[in-house]
Structure 1
Amino acid sequence: MPESPTAKFLWLRRVGWLVLIWGLSVAALAVVAGLFRMFMGLAGLTL
């Protein structure tokens, strides 16, 4: 059974949301890691 254009659009939309949520979670993790690094540097904990 061939896919309808609507089914393909819904699949692309779901994958798009997945990629968006993944990207935002990676960005949030990077922000938190940067804050930890900054606070540790202010506390004198440097390499």
Structure 2
Amino acid sequence: MEGSEVSSTEGPAAPWYRRLAWLVGIWFGSVLALGAVASLLRLMMQMAGMSSH
């Protein structure tokens, strides 16, 4: 099959600090999302009377 080559991105790779910023940003966003889901589950459990106190 001719013409089925995978094209790479043009230009040089991003600087290390930009890649690090993306890594930290994605990590921070995932931690926030996990905290939001955990808080929502905790609230739902308390509303259902499933408290440990």
TM-score tier, shorter chain, comes to 0.7 to 0.9
Mark the runs of 5 or more structure 2 residues left unpaired by the alignment.
Answer: 1-12
Q: How far off its partner does 1:34 sit?
A: 0.1
TM-score normalized by the length of structure 1: 0.80
- 1:3 — aligned with what? none
Q: TM-score under structure 2 normalisation?
A: 0.71
The Cα of 1:45 is off from its aligned counterpart by 0.2
Q: Which of 19, 24, 34 is 1:19 aligned to? A: 24
1:1-47 matches, within 5 Å, as 10-47=15-52
**If you compute each CA radius of gyration, which structure gives the higher value, 1 or 2?**
2
Distance apart, 1:41 and its partner CA: 0.2
Report the identity percentage.
50
Q: CA RMSD in A?
A: 1.5
Report the number of matched residues: 40
More relative contact order, 1 or 2 (CA 8 Å, 6+ apart): 1
In structure 1, give the amino acid aligned to 2:19: R
